[in-house]
Every structure is written in structure tokens, then in C-alpha cells.
Amino acid sequence: MTNTTKYVSFKNNIFIIGFGSIGEGVLPLILRHINVAPEQITIITADERGHGKANDYKVAFINHALTRENYHDVLGSRLSKGDFVVNVSVDVSCTTLIELCQEKGALYIDTVVEPWAGYYTDPTLTATQRSNYGLRETALALQPKYKNGSTAVLCHGANPGLVNHFVKQALLNVAKDTGANVAKPASREDWGKLAQQLGIKVVHIAERDTQVSDKPKEVDEFVNTWSIDGFCSEGLQPAELGWGTHEKALPPDGLRHASGSDAAIYLNRPGCTTRVRSWTPLEGPYHGFLITHNESISIADYLTLREDGKVSYRPTCHYAYHPCDAAVLSLHEMNGKNGKQQSRQRLMNEEIISGIDELGVLLMGNDKGVYWFGSRLSIDQARGLAPNNNATSLQVTVAVLSGMIWAIENPNRGLVEPEYMDFERVMEIAEPYLGDVVGVWGKWSPLQDRGVLFPEDLDASDPWQFKNIRVV
């Protein structure tokens, strides 16, 4: 039976910025679970696509791209105190919209720290400035200015977002399954101490998308199950990972940032050409792309422990993403053109005939084995749960919904990353839409079956070194 709970009422206006796969998918969830009328919702988007769906739901639709020159006129002139801006766009600066919302006293949520169009390819910017690390530092710099201001939830999609909450639940599950006698953590330091006590050295956001279409990918076409522009832009950023204290040496192409928390490093190459070994329960071992994501940095930063001002514990953390097979072929073709995207895009949805998105976190280092916790959502389940969604998009859109509800319930928290939200409340709202939510132990390690066929330089003394996980 479909969950129709109205979690909160909202009397003001909601502005959805961007109306691609995530905007289209979150709209029916907002109307289902937030007590709000269609006339309170306005969509502002750069693409005429989706206008028909907006009409179906009787919400206002404005086809007008936001730019640094016009955002105040197009959005700011409509925005009032108590309104909510849901930013699911690309090429629109989230920090600019956050500051606008703070000035107006409006709530805000996004799924990624996004800059203005052209930022990633600006030759005057350093790698740090183009990285998620740098973008996150810029956003977090606003926190002191808007302490106790209207709530602005940063980076709350599936990942980043849901997976940040998965980590906390996974740590509690590992503690319970291994008989660790610990109290439920009550602070950031407590969570770091729990991860350290459990021996966690590495956290992967381990995702395998097996959704397939009845229409094969064509030449000069990029096919994916979620935002193609978003995937390509983050794939062409430098590969980034939270850098753990157990690591013995930086990768040959690894570099540190000169400022900020120092919780992460970057590789001098894009994530869409960097592969890593990982594991999910259904897929087993696989090669994923080390695509930069905010959660790779924020999770590592959140779990960091310090003694006398020096870092004493931090896990390595990064994304290990195997997208749908059509997207892998699309990346291969795009990489062959040195990052030039294909002339045509196709977002898979109605033509998907089977498959699941197996999205979770993989905790490594505990003596009992590796532990994966997350969502297994099939295309059939997704279609039965919510309109306008496939398995991948629903994991994102329900995270946006749960983040919105949390913000409405907590309206004066200023700028907040997922780690500082109530993970149990978020999971309560999201879980009915996540298919099978499971935790599974495994005996996999990145050294498994690495014999004469893969004679790389390995570190057998510690399987959890990044040099063992990276595919060279």
C-alpha cells in the first residue's frame, strides 16, 4: 500500500529550481507528503521539457534559466520570508541561492554544491577551486555568518545525503553484530570514536545500477538513469577522496589542498577515468568509478578524531560507482573524445525493462569482515511506489523530500550538512521508498583473487590501503 502520510503542513510558497529527472520525480512526493496546494508551487527551469508534467499537477512553470545576472529578478523578486527553495538544477550557484534565501528568511535544500555555468572549465581556477573540497569549504564559510538563520540543507540527495545517514546506521549495526558495548553516539566525536573502536579504515559509497533499456545506446549518444549533465560535470572534476590515517603514502598523482580541513586529497585526473575495486552483496566484486562527491569529504571530516590538535583517526572515504551499463559505454565514448560530451542525450525511464539500483555504504576494516548497508530498489518497485521515477531517481527524490520535511520541522538551523541532521527521522520518511533496506556481511577484500593475472604492486600487510583498491 502506498504511504500517503502528510508529515507536515506548509503555508508558504515552494520554488523548485530545475525540472529534470529529480525535479519531475520529487514534485509528486511533495504533493503527497507535505500539506501544500499546487498553487503554492512554482517551477523555474532552463528547459521547456517538463512543462506538460507541470501542467498535469497544476503548478506554475517558468522557463527561464537562472544566471548570476538575473537570479535576483527571476527568483528573488518572487521569494518571501518563510518560502522554500528546492534547488535541483545544474549550473546554478548554490551559495548564491543560499545567501538569497538567508536575506529573505527562506528555507533551502540542494543535492550538490553547484557553481555557476562555466566554472569547471575556467582555466584561471586551480584544481582546488574546481574540486568538491573547495566548493564545500566555500559553502561552509557561510555558516558563521548565518548561525541560527533559516535552515539551508546542503547536499541532501541519495549521495550525498542518504548515504551519510546510512553510515550512522551501519556503524550501530556493526557494533551490535560484533558485541561492542557502546552507547548510542550523541556527538560528532562520539561517532568518530565508535568508528575507530570498530576498526573502520575505509568507507565506500558502493553502488551498482543494473537497470537496462529495451533500446541500446547509439553512437554519439549519452545514456543514463539520472541527470546526464550532472553526471558529466562531476565526472570531469578531479577524483577526490577523504584520506584516512591508516594510509601509508599518497598516490603518485595524489595532492593535498593548501587550506581548509585537510580531510581529503585529490588525484590529478578526472573521476570518470579513475576506477576502484569495491563490493556489493548482489553484484559481488566490481570495478567502479571514483567520482568526486561531497560525502567523500564530509563523512571523512565528520568521523575525524584529534588529539592535541593533530588528527589521530580518520577513515578513507570515497564513491565507487558502477552506473548502468549504457552509461559505462557512454563514459567510454566521452573519454575517448577527451571529455567532449556526445551531441545527444537520453535519460532512461519509461524504456527501462529490468534492473535495480543497489546503493549503500561499505564499511571495511572490522575483524568480522566487510559490512554493506543500504537500499536495493528495483525498477518495478520504484514504479509501484511513485510516478515519474526510476530506481535511481527515487533514491534521490525521497531524500530531497525527507530533507525538506526535516527543514520545515527545524526551520532555524542555519547551514546544515547531512551529518548534523536527525538520521533516524530522515530514514523514517525515506525508508518506505527504498525497496529492500538491508545490512549484509561479506568476506571480500581488494586482494581477493589477485594472483598472476593481476601482478600489480600490492601491500599484502594491509588490504585496506588505497593502492590495493585502486585499479591501475
Q: What is the CATH number of the domain that holds 95?
A: 3.40.50.720
Is residue 300 within 8 Å of residue 244, measured between CB atoms?
A: yes
Is residue 445 within 8 Å of residue 370, measured between CB atoms?
A: yes
Q: What is the pLDDT of residue 1?
A: 66
Long-range Cβ contacts of 112-116 (<8 Å, 24+ apart): 112/155, 112/157, 112/160, 112/230, 112/234, 112/294, 113/138, 113/139, 113/154, 113/155, 113/294, 114/87, 114/89, 114/90, 115/91, 116/67, 116/68, 116/91, 116/92
Q: What is the pLDDT of residue 454?
A: 66
Q: What is the pLDDT of residue 453?
A: 67
Residues 191 and 145 in one domain: no
Residues 33 and 147 in one domain: yes
Mean pLDDT of 227-250: 96
Task: Give the tens place of pLDDT for each residue, 309-350.
Answer: 999 999 999 999 999 999 999 999 999 999 999 999 999 999
Q: What is the pLDDT of residue 52?
A: 96
Query: Of the residues 153, 178, 207, which one is the last residue of a structural domain?
Result: 153
Task: Give the tens place of pLDDT for each residue, 29-88.
Answer: 999 999 999 999 999 999 999 999 999 999 999 999 999 999 999 999 999 999 999 999
What is the share, in percent, of the chain residues with pLDDT greater than 90?
A: 94
Residues 189 and 335 in one domain: yes
Mean pLDDT of 152-169: 98
> Letter for the amino acid at 112?
V
Mean pLDDT of 466-470: 97
CA 404 to chain centroid: 16
Give the chain's domain count.
2
Q: What is the pLDDT of residue 148?
A: 92
Mean pLDDT of 360-376: 98
- Residue 2, pLDDT above cutoff 90: no
Report yes or no on 242 lying in a domain.
yes
Q: What is the pLDDT of residue 456?
A: 72
- Nearest in space to 108 (alpha carbons), one of 403, 455, 428, 448: 403
Q: What is the pLDDT of residue 121?
A: 84
Is residue 400 within 8 Å of residue 109, measured between CB atoms?
A: yes
Mean pLDDT of 124-152: 95
Q: What is the pLDDT of residue 181?
A: 85
- Residue 195, pLDDT above cutoff 80: yes
- Residue 140, pLDDT above cutoff 90: yes
**100: domain range?**
8-153
Cell 551531441, residue? 343
Mean pLDDT of 360-387: 98
Residues 176 and 277 in one domain: yes
Mean pLDDT of 265-282: 97
Of 53 and 450, which is predicted with more confidence?
53
Report yes or no on 430 lying in a domain.
yes
Residues 238 and 334 in one domain: yes
- Nearest in space to 439 (alpha carbons), one of 195, 170, 178: 170
Q: What is the pLDDT of residue 450?
A: 84
- Region of 160 (left: φ > 0; alpha: ψ -120 to 50; beta: rest) is beta
**Average pLDDT score over the chain:** 96
Residues 147 and 267 in one domain: no
Q: What is the pLDDT of residue 462?
A: 96
- Residue 177, pLDDT above cutoff 70: yes
Residues 369 and 433 in one domain: yes
pTM confidence score: 0.97
Mean pLDDT of 178-203: 96
- Residue 449, pLDDT above cutoff 90: no
Q: How far is CA 350 from CA 54, 202, 367, 462, in A?
A: 18, 37, 44, 45
Mean pLDDT of 167-185: 96
Is residue 78 within 8 Å of residue 100, measured between CB atoms?
A: no
Q: What is the pLDDT of residue 455?
A: 62
Mean pLDDT of 4-8: 96
Of 458 and 151, which is predicted with more confidence?
151
Q: What is the pLDDT of residue 120?
A: 87
Query: Of the residues 153, 182, 198, which one is the last residue of a structural domain?
Result: 153
Query: Of the residues 130, 153, 176, which one is the last residue of a structural domain?
Result: 153
Report yes or no on 400 lying in a domain.
no
Q: What is the pLDDT of residue 91?
A: 94
